[in-house]
Structure 1
C-alpha cells in the first residue's frame, strides 16, 4: 500500500493551495512524471479494492467491516485528489514509502443471484493441432460447456472462437441455473457427471472432454 504525507491542501477537492503551505515543494524535476504515475496508480488500485470489499461485507451484513473499507476508500480518494492537484501545478512529487498490509477478506460474488452459478473459461494452454490443421495459425477453437443440471436436460454454453494460437485466451463467463433447495440432488449429479468442457476446432471435436 502507498502512504503519502498529509495533504498540503485545506480542501483536497480544490487544486489550489496557499503559497505558505506549499513553500516546501519545488518545481517538478525530471523523473517526477513516473513518480506521479506510480502514486496515482497505487491509490486508484487501493480505492477500487477497498470499495469492492465494502460491497462484499455490506452484502454479508457485516456493517462494521463495510464501514472500515469505505473509510479507507474515501482516504485513498482524498489522497488521489491531492496528488493530482500537486501535479497540475507542476510541483515536485511528495516523498512516500511503500508498505505491505494484510487484511482478512471474503471472496464472493455479491452481484450473483443465489439461483445462479458462474463458470469462467480463462484460457487454453498449448493446444495440439488436430488432423488436417498444419500449424497453430490455422487453429480456430472454442469451448463448449455442458453443465449437468438438471440431470435430464443439461444446460449448455460456448465461448467465442479464438483464431491463430495454441494458447487461446477465452476470458469468458457463463451463468447456469441451480436450485439451492435441491442441493443434495445437485451434489449427487456432480459426483456422477462433472462439468464437461469440450474443445472444438470450428465444428469438429478434436480434444477429449476436460
Structure 2
C-alpha cells in the first residue's frame, strides 16, 4: 500500500512538472525530478553541483529575455573598414516588442519592407557621394529584404510556423544629405502658425491668415518672394507648404544673406475683395546654422514692430548638404534577421531522361536489323 502511494505521488509530481514545462512557466531542475520506481535517489556531491556564475554574469542573465536582441555595429566609412564588426548583447527595450503570434507574419513582412526602403535611401545617398562600394552593398541588402518578405508570404500561405529570427542594431556611419535637392536649391517649408495675432477689433474665429516671405537673393531688387494660401477662421493655421528657392553657394551675395539677413516673414490677414491685406506681425529666420547643418527647424517669434505678440510661425529649411562641407552622421537602427529559411526550399527535381521505347541494337547496326 505504501509503495502504491509513493508511485501515485511520483506520477502527480511528474505531471505537474510536465504541465509547467509545456506552458513555459519555468525550466525544471533535473535533480528535482524523482527517480523511477525501484531506484534509490543518488546523493549529489560537490563535484555534481553546477559551476557558480559570477555576479556580473548572473545580473546579465536576469536582464536577458527570449526576445533579447543583439547589436551589430556596421562601420561604413573611409576611416573604418566595414569588415570590423562589434557584436554585443543589447537590452530588449532597445528593440521593438514582438506582437502576438497571429500577427507575427504581418509584422515581420512590414519590417522587411521598411528595411528595403531604408536601404534604397542609403543607396541614393552613397550614389550621390560617389561611393560605389557602399551603394552596391545596400542594393544587395535591399534585395535580401525583399526576398525574405516573399519567403514569409509563401510560408504563411502554406501554413508553416513562424521562422526563428532576431534583431540586430546596425550602426551606420554616413554623411547627412538630402538627395532630393540639387546643389542650387533651398527648400522652405512653412509648417504652421501658433497663436498668431488678430486684427484689432476682429474675432479670432473670423480671421483669414497668410504668411508671406522674402529672400533677398541674388539682390534686393530681384528678391525671391511668395506667400501661402489663406487659411480661414483660425489663428493656429496649418499650412505645410513647400517653396523651392534658387541659391548659389559660391556667390558673395549669398554668403552675405546667409550670415546677416536670412529670410523675412510677414503675417497678414486677408480683408476681402478690393481690400488691402493688413500686416499684423513680422519675423526673421537666420540661416547661419546651414553652415554645419543641411536641415533646420525653428519657431519664429512674431513681432509687431518691436513688441512681442506671443505668436510663432514654425518653419523648416533644407539644403542638399551643409554649406561648410559634408556633415558626418551616425544612424542606429534595429535590423531584422532570419536565422533560417521559413520554407525548406528544395532544389528543383532533376528531369529524368525519357525512356526510349524503341528496341536497342546491341552489337548490330541498323542495316543488320532491316535484313
TM-score (norm: length of structure 1)? 0.71
Cα deviation code 1:114-145 (max 9, x no counterpart): 2222222233334344434424x434323222
Q: Residues 142-181 of structure 1: matches in 2 within 5 Å?
A: 142-151=210-219, 152-181=221-250
Structure 1 residues 46-85: aligned runs within 5 Å: 46-85=115-154
Unaligned runs of 5+ in 1: 4-29
* Aligned-partner Cα distance in 2 for 1:110–1:130: 42
- Structure 2 partner of 1:201: 269
Secondary structure, aligned partner of 1:200: strand
Q: Please name the residue that 1:109 is paired with.
A: 178
- 4+ residue segments displaced more than 6 Å: none
2:89 aligns with none
Post-superposition CA distance 1:169-191 (Å, at most 9, x none): 32222111123441x32111333
Query: 2:110 is matched with which residue?
Result: 41
The SS at the match of 2:194 is coil
Q: If you compute each CA radius of gyration, which structure gives the higher value, 1 or 2? A: 2
Change (3 A) 1:34 1:112: same
Q: Partners of 2:156 and 2:238 in 1: how far apart?
A: 38
* Between 64-73 and 111-120, the greater mean CA deviation after superposition: 111-120
C-alpha spacing 1:141/1:33, structure 2 compared with 1 (3 Å): farther
Match of 2:254 in 1: 186
Query: Alpha carbons of 1:93 and 1:143: their partners in 2 closer, same or farther (altered >3 Å)?
Result: farther
Higher relative contact order (CA 8 A, sep 6+): 1
Structure whose residues are more often strand by fraction: 2
Query: Displacement of 1:33 after TM fit?
Result: 4.8
Q: How far apart are the structure 2 equivalents of 1:206 and 1:49?
A: 44
| Contact kept? 2:264, 2:282, Cα under 8 Å | no
The runs of 5 or more residues in structure 2 that have no matched partner are 1-68, 70-98, 271-276, 285-371
TM-score (norm 2): 0.43
Instruction: Provide the rounded CA distance (Å) in 2 between the counterparts of 1:98 and 1:133.
Output: 57
Give the Cα–Cα distance (whole angstroms) in 1 for the partners of residues 151 and 235 of structure 2.
47
Distance 1:116 1:126, change over 3 A: same
* Structure 1 residue 102: Cα displacement: 1.9
Q: Is the CA contact (8 Å cut-off) linking 2:213 and 2:226 kept in structure 1?
A: yes
Is the 1:43–1:76 Cα contact (8 Å) retained in structure 2? yes
Stretch deviating more after TM superposition (102-111 or 142-151): 102-111
In structure 2, C-alpha distance between the alignment counterparts of 1:199 and 1:48, rounded to whole Å: 39
Q: How many residues align structurally? A: 180
